[in-house]
Amino acid sequence: MYAMKYTNKRQSLEKEAIANVIREVQILSSLDHPFIINLVFSFQGQSSRHSIYSAFGYVN
């Protein structure tokens, strides 16, 4: 089971925050710590390239 995060690329570009989104994915995918949730994978929306989805390990 995964927890999903949606990021709108168009809004990130307007706010000039796309570098932050890229950095977030890079950092979270490289971390391995028991107190930080793990990024399992991320991908762009297939029908619309204006969205980025990140999947995190679900913590219950």
Report the percentage of the chain scoring pLDDT > 70: 97
Q: pLDDT at position 9, please? A: 87
| Residue 56 predicted with pLDDT over 90 | yes
Distance between CA 28 and CA 22 in Å, rounded? 10
The one-character DSSP state at 22 is H
Q: How many domains does the chain have?
A: 1
- What pTM value is reported for the model? 0.76
CATH for 44: 3.30.200.20
Distance between CA 3 and CA 44 in Å, rounded? 16
Distance between CA 43 and CA 16 in Å, rounded? 20
Mind giving me the DSSP string for 38-57? PEEEEEE-SS-TTEEEEEEE
pLDDT category of residue 48 using cuts at 50, 70 and 90: low
Are the C-beta atoms of residues 15 and 32 closer than 8 Å to each other? no
Domain hosting 27: range is 2-57
